[in-house]
A and B are shown apart, each in its own frame.
Chain A
Amino acid sequence: MATETTRDFEALEKQTQTIMSVFTKAGYEAVAPTILQPADVFLDVIGESLRARTYVFTDPDGAELCLRPDLTVPTCRLHLARHADPATPARYSYSGAAFRFQPQGADAAHPREFRQAGIERFGDTERETAEAEIVATVIRAIEKAGLKDWSLRLGDLGLFSSILDVAGLSPRWKKRLDDAFLRPLAFRESLKAFAAGAEAARLPVPDALLSSLKRADMAASEAAIAAYLDEKSIELIGTRTLSDITEHLIDIAEGREEKPLDPAAADLIGRYVGITAPARMAGAKIAELVNGAPAGSAAALESYDRRVALLANAGIDLERVTFAAEFGRTMAYYTGLVFEVRVKTLGPQSPVATGGRYDALMRAAGASVDVPAVGAAIHTERLLAAIRGASS
Chain B
Amino acid sequence: MSRLTLAIPSKGRLMEQTTDMFARAGLVVRKVGHARGYRGEIEGLPDVDVAYVSSSEIAEALKAGSIHLGITGEDLIRENISDADTRIGFVHKLGFGFADVVVAVPDCWIDVATVADLEEIAMPFRRLHGRWPRVATKYMNLTRRFFASKGFGDYRIIESAGATEGAPAAGTAELIVDITTSGETLRANGLRVLNDGVILRSQANLFASKVAAWSPALQSVCDQIAANLAKSVPQPANSK
Which chain A residue lies CB-closest to B155? A48
Complex Cα distance, B148 from A239, in Å, reads: 24
A112 CB, nearest partner CB in chain B, Å: 16
Quick check: B108 and A205 within 8 Å, CB to CB?
no
Q: A205-B111, A248-B121 are in contact. Are A49 and B148 (CB under 8 A)?
A: yes
Q: A238-B171, A238-B174 are in contact. Are A186 and B111 (CB under 8 A)?
A: no
Q: Among residues 94 to 122 in chain B, which have CB atoms less than 8 Å away from a CB atom of chain A?
A: 106-114, 117, 119-121
Complex Cα distance, B2 from A320, in Å, reads: 62
Q: A234-B190, A248-B120 are in contact. Are A239 and B113 (CB under 8 A)?
A: no
**Residue B169 interfacial (CB < 8 Å):** yes
Quick check: B111 and A203 within 8 Å, CB to CB?
yes
Quick check: B110 and A245 within 8 Å, CB to CB?
yes
Instruction: Give the one of B124, B153, B174 with max A CB within 10 A.
Output: B153
Q: Which of B35-43, B67-75, B126-134, B230-238 contacts A (4 or more CB under 8 A)?
A: B126-134
Quick check: B157 and A204 within 8 Å, CB to CB?
no
Question: Which size class do A's interface residues fall under?
Answer: 35 or more
- Taking chain A's interface residues, is the majority helix, strand, or loop, or is none over half, making it mixed? helix
Which chain A residue lies CB-closest to B114? A202
**Residue A103 interfacial (CB < 8 Å):** yes
Q: A47-B154, A183-B151, A238-B174 are in contact. Are A244 and B128 (CB under 8 A)?
A: yes
Quick check: A234 and B107 within 8 Å, CB to CB?
yes
A14 CB, nearest partner CB in chain B, Å: 38
B175 CB, nearest partner CB in chain A, Å: 8
Complex Cα distance, B105 from A347, in Å, reads: 43
Quick check: B113 and A236 within 8 Å, CB to CB?
no
Q: Among residues 73 to 99 in chain A, which have CB atoms less than 8 Å away from a CB atom of chain B?
A: none
Residues of B within 8 A of A180 (CB): 151
Complex Cα distance, B106 from A247, in Å, reads: 17
Q: Among residues 235 to 285 in chain A, which have CB atoms less than 8 Å away from a CB atom of chain B?
A: 235-240, 244-245, 247-249, 251-252
A-B contact pairs, 18 of them (CB 8 A): A48-B144, A48-B154, A48-B157, A49-B148, A179-B119, A202-B195, A203-B110, A225-B110, A234-B110, A237-B168, A237-B190, A239-B174, A240-B109, A240-B121, A248-B112, A248-B121, A248-B124, A251-B120
Residue ranges of A at the interface with B (Cβ–Cβ < 8 Å): 43-44, 47-49, 51-52, 103, 176, 179-180, 183, 185-186, 202-205, 225, 228-229, 234-240, 244-245, 247-249, 251-252
Residue ranges of B at the interface with A (Cβ–Cβ < 8 Å): 82, 106-114, 117, 119-121, 123-125, 128-129, 131-132, 144, 147-148, 150-151, 153-157, 168-169, 171, 174, 190, 195
Q: A44-B132, A176-B120, A179-B119 are in contact. List 16 more A-B contacts (CB 8 A).
A: A47-B153, A48-B153, A48-B154, A48-B155, A183-B151, A186-B151, A203-B111, A204-B113, A205-B110, A228-B110, A229-B108, A235-B107, A238-B106, A238-B108, A238-B174, A251-B120
In the A-B complex, the 5 residue pairs with the closest CB atoms:
A186-B151, A183-B151, A238-B168, A248-B111, A237-B169
